Structure 1
């Protein structure tokens, strides 16, 4: 991994930050980039906005800081916690996972007795923090407290495996792009957004404030390269995924075509992404005010919204390279 810092990526993957509680992530990112930008601030909703002044078009870059999580809704008399989801949680994936709360309390997800996996739903699950009673549990956790999957990231020369890859990997790419940029040709706003997993809320307010000429989001996308997977022309290691559509956006042809042209010009591996579900911050950004031409650079990822999301190191490197090429050169089509 010559292109970027493994240590920084691990820090980003481990820092606590479910939707609505992204302050620790913002603090880490701010410390990392504050000397690389002309202005940095946090808006009223919690988005971290870093402005790198330059000529040309005003471009908003977005990657979300929040990760999926669980929120405590009830503590029973035996000290077991019931919970609601923050973002998309699969009951089958969530069962038996370790979780960690902001204060460091660690628990494990258990299940009521069920006769078949078809009966496994979130309301059949509970969090066991090892409490002996409701009173004991309440000394550790309160109603409304949130937790996230808890596991150690694995990073080697080929792959990254971790919880929170969605979308700390997007934030990481933005940081690395900012570090590696030389002479920029555009007025860049690096926006590390909040509450994407619960409705792309931060991106909506940030775009309204910035009023960009165009926008690019960095996020993960699904793949079709595992055994008997849903057919999809995206796979790990095949390059930066240039989005064409998902359920939240039909990417602007000008943005998509310029990305393809730039990738070809600089011989950067890429693939085209048509996602038949889900969405990204660009889904909110492109509908802001009178409309913002928007696109997405996606990191192909297996096992999204699990504790072991997987991405290819080479894909991350190619997205960083393509981003640099986009922002260090003129955007003649815009």
Structure 2
């Protein structure tokens, strides 16, 4: 299997911040509709695709949404105040270009800070590069959302894009669906909504499906760059099997299952302990009476930035591990 750059670019470039997932849901639906037995959209907006079987019920979940900004005030001079949608830090977005669903753009600017004054979101604004009040009034409104504007880029072994979190998880599930292995298991592929604002979609999807086993597909940090994070996960180290993050401790049986499957199928893997954040597996594992859950993580540099970096070979190993899990007994 080769890395499908065209598909990943399409997914990453799609405008769909949390709560506005229709664009990406439509793309994914078009990609998978001919490969599944059943497909539906639940009341919250989750896309749930099913490969029917009479065996163990397995749920995979990757979230469709991306981080962004939401407009809270529109100044007729062309300055927009905003709040964050998901984990965005003020100091990391000054000078970045943001793009709206209508294709219009603006740059994040900062007010002059007084002595010892802290930089917060309230000190930032978006300049939409217009002095025409009518243009601003017509095109920008309270509640509008925008996301990072950056170009998709590849080297022979890696990819840089704005929404690897978690379009790469969606990519992995799409590729697995298209090459779904023969199995008696009843397999559900969930593409969830609103993960970046509290793993909300996964909670309702997990309750609805009520699986015997759940595995989330999501990005994780790495310790192989100079950003100060100390952990063993690295690009090129293979699929990362999560042991713990702030939302869950992986069920021992699931950790052993994923490890054994990786070793039996000659899949390159590494273990992950993440000291912050969480995934769809967090709410799912506490659903109903409890659901044994785990995570296949994709090592990613520059998380929650306009230029997240993933390794193509890691992605292919994650696809192999997902497919092996789908046929597990």
TM-score class normalised by the smaller sequence: over 0.9
Q: Structure 2: how far apart are the matches of 1:107 and 1:207?
A: 38
Contact 2:71 2:81 in 1 (8 A): yes
Contact 2:181 2:326 in 1 (8 A): no
Q: Structure 2: how far apart are the matches of 1:325 and 1:283?
A: 22
> Which residue does 1:139 correspond to in 2?
138
Q: How does 1:8-47 map to 2 (within 5 A)?
A: 8-47=7-46
> Which residue does 1:313 correspond to in 2?
312
CA 109–291 in structure 1, closer or farther in 2 if over 3 Å, else same: same
Q: Structure 1: how far apart are the matches of 2:318 and 2:201?
A: 23
Q: Deviations over 1:169-218 (max 9, x none)?
A: 00000001111223124111000000000000000011111111110000
Structure 1 runs not aligned, ≥5 long: none
> Which residue does 1:255 correspond to in 2?
254
Q: Secondary structure, in 3 states, of the residue corresponding to 1:299?
A: strand
Contact 2:222 2:231 in 1 (8 A): yes
CA 115–226 in structure 1, closer or farther in 2 if over 3 Å, else same: farther
Q: Is residue 124 of structure 1 aligned with residue 123 of structure 2?
A: yes
Task: Tell me which moved more, 56-65 or 90-99.
Answer: 90-99
> Which residue does 2:162 correspond to in 1?
163
How far the C-alpha of 1:113 sits from its partner, in A, is 1.7
> Which residue does 1:179 correspond to in 2?
178
Q: Structure 1: how far apart are the matches of 2:26 and 2:144?
A: 20
> Which residue does 2:97 correspond to in 1?
98
> Which residue does 1:202 correspond to in 2?
201
Q: Structure 2: how far apart are the matches of 1:28 and 1:228?
A: 34
Q: What value does the CA root-mean-square deviation take over the aligned residues?
A: 1.5
How far the C-alpha of 1:156 sits from its partner, in A, is 3.1
Q: TM-score, normalised by structure 2?
A: 0.97
Q: Secondary structure, in 3 states, of the residue corresponding to 1:242?
A: strand
Count of aligned residue pairs for this structure pair: 329
Q: Is residue 216 of structure 1 aligned with residue 215 of structure 2?
A: yes
Q: Structure 1: how far apart are the matches of 2:73 and 2:322?
A: 45
CA 157–180 in structure 1, closer or farther in 2 if over 3 Å, else same: farther
> Which residue does 2:284 correspond to in 1?
285
How far the C-alpha of 1:157 sits from its partner, in A, is 2.4
Contact 1:75 1:134 in 2 (8 A): no
How far the C-alpha of 1:138 sits from its partner, in A, is 1.6
Q: TM-score, normalised by structure 1?
A: 0.95
Structure 2 runs not aligned, ≥5 long: none
Q: Structure 2: how far apart are the matches of 1:98 and 1:299?
A: 26
Q: Structure 2: how far apart are the matches of 1:158 and 1:57?
A: 36
Q: How does 1:227-246 map to 2 (within 5 A)?
A: 227=226, 229-246=228-245
Q: Structure 2: how far apart are the matches of 1:238 and 1:250?
A: 22
